[in-house]
A and B are shown apart, each in its own frame.
Chain A
């Protein structure tokens, strides 16, 4: 047995909002639900559930078509959601496009910008820490266009190197750089503004995957300087089925549509069509109306807390989680050591236990954590790992839940006799 050197400082941080999330009242095997998988998807507050239901109960009609009052209500709700989302992220409404998720947002850029601007001999630069959503679309694009796909490396602290970015850009062939704001495996917060400035100066276009950032910290897309910035609603307390792409207006204006069909046209002739204006040019077919309304309620909810408060809370939780995880013998944590450089998640391994077994045993105690490759197989290979366990926090997480995780991990180790 290891001697405890000193008891960890008990963490007290809380936003006091757990009761706003009805699912957190559930129990499993007699244990309260301890949800530490917010990086996969967030739980939803009553405000979002009610907004979604209210739209479907009272205001549902298709958008952009009807002249009757109910249709006007639905229009106002959908476009009102866009206004709130754009305002939440410091973006313009007309360059804020609703997509299905961040995967579709990135594919939109890969198809509509990439196919027109990436040619044989060009390069697309991504990083070793990308989620498959910000990796496979660029693989497919590069294969199609006989372009080169190159990677920025992740160092032993789980961070990228601006020097390597500079030297890659200096080669003169990079047309586009795609990278994540916050790594879903390492937790690393990348220096987005420093990177986009370099990318812009080199004449390339930046694409940022903000899925793990927008729900957890203040994000102002104008200040970050990204040409394209995508994120997803369901990780940000919103419903599934709605994501967001913010783009630079002059780039979006010059692009051909991604998906075509209804709503994205200005007029259609037998053999040709002209496109609607922004943002609707990129929203073909009936959009996720109720889901967007739900996302509008989600950003209102987050905005009312204040994203500075959210970040401060999650930073305190992350630091506490790091300290407590480090107490467990044989446990290794991936990513940056300094909590200031990471989001509220920790990927880890325990000697002698496979991550799936760790997660299975934690689940018996009501503790929900992730195990696997986290849709980042190239990164896992770079780390020489097959899988990790991952615990991630959200606005509703409280320190006692971290304690429950630690207890579950200790009990799990006992089962395995390690």
Chain B
């Protein structure tokens, strides 16, 4: 089996969870991957400080789409304040596949959109990525 394109990655790519529009929503954001021009947006509904529901929209490679899909399942029910501080390790561990330096931006795009929507931090991840 391919290291990168494992069944669970391809499954999330072909049948992404929590993709679409969410209205009404409390938070929204969008980011793009400058490497490939891919765009991803998120809408989040908040209740009692928790992420009650969220939806992603956009298009991209298997890695970026699968990462957003996998993240969406974990983010539901999470404390909003915690979601705003999630790190790259959280995302990469969830993905569970070896991610090369050039695909790191793809893998982190979903989390980047969420962090931007939650905390207005559009610069993450900065520097060395």
Contacts and interface: CB of A to CB of B under 8 A. Distances in A.
Contacts of B117: none
A360 B5 CA distance: 10
Interface string B72-100: 00000000000000000000000000000
A386 B59 contact: yes
A387 B10 contact: no
Interface in A365-392: 371-373, 377, 380, 386-387
B37 A357 contact: no
A372 B106 contact: no
Contact of A387 (B2, B4, B38): B38
A417 interface: yes
A377 B38 CA distance: 11
B36 A371 contact: yes
Contacts of A386: 36-39, 59-60
A360 B39 CA distance: 19
Contact of B37 (A360, A361, A380): A380
A37 to B, nearest CB: 14
Nearest to A381: B37
A354 interface: yes
A380 B38 CA distance: 12
Contact of A361 (B5, B36, B60, B106): B5
Contacts of B37: 372-373, 377, 380, 386-387
Interface residues of B, number: 17
Contacts of A18: none
B62 interface: yes
A29 to B, nearest CB: 11
B35 interface: yes
A350 to B, nearest CB: 12
A415 interface: yes
Contacts of A354: 38, 59-62, 65
B5 to A, nearest CB: 5
Contacts of A387: 36-38
Interface string B97-129: 000000100100000000000000000000000
Contacts of B10: 415-417
A360 B38 contact: no
Contacts of B36: 355-356, 371-373, 386-387
Contacts of A361: 2, 5
A386 B61 CA distance: 11
B62 A372 contact: no
A416 B2 CA distance: 11
A356 B61 contact: yes
Q: Which of A355, A360, A361 has the most CB of B within 10 A?
A: A360
Given A415-B5, A416-B5, A416-B10, A357 B62 contact: yes
Contacts of A416: 5, 10, 62
B3 to A, nearest CB: 9
Contacts of B2: 361, 415
A416 B61 CA distance: 12
A415 B14 CA distance: 12
A357 B4 CA distance: 10
A361 B37 CA distance: 20
A416 B5 CA distance: 8
Interface string B36-80: 111100000000000000000001111101000000000000000
Interface string A336-357: 0000000000000000011111
Nearest to A386: B37
A371 B5 CA distance: 17
Contacts of A355: 36, 61
A184 to B, nearest CB: 15
Nearest to B106: A356
A160 B106 CA distance: 34
Contact of A357 (B35, B39, B59, B61): B61
A380 B4 CA distance: 27
A177 to B, nearest CB: 27
Contacts of B4: 360
A35 B38 CA distance: 25
Nearest 6 A/B pairs, CB to CB: A354-B61, A356-B61, A373-B37, A372-B36, A357-B62, A387-B36
Given A354-B65, A356-B60, 19 more contacts: A354-B61, A354-B62, A356-B103, A357-B62, A360-B4, A361-B2, A372-B35, A373-B36, A373-B37, A377-B37, A380-B37, A386-B37, A386-B39, A415-B2, A415-B10, A416-B5, A416-B10, A416-B62, A417-B10
Interface of B: 2, 4-5, 10, 35-39, 59-63, 65, 103, 106
Interface of A: 353-357, 360-361, 371-373, 377, 380, 386-387, 415-417
26 contacts: A353-B62, A354-B62, A354-B65, A355-B36, A355-B61, A356-B36, A356-B61, A356-B63, A357-B5, A357-B61, A357-B62, A357-B63, A360-B103, A361-B5, A371-B36, A372-B37, A373-B36, A373-B37, A380-B37, A386-B60, A387-B36, A387-B37, A387-B38, A415-B5, A416-B10, A417-B10
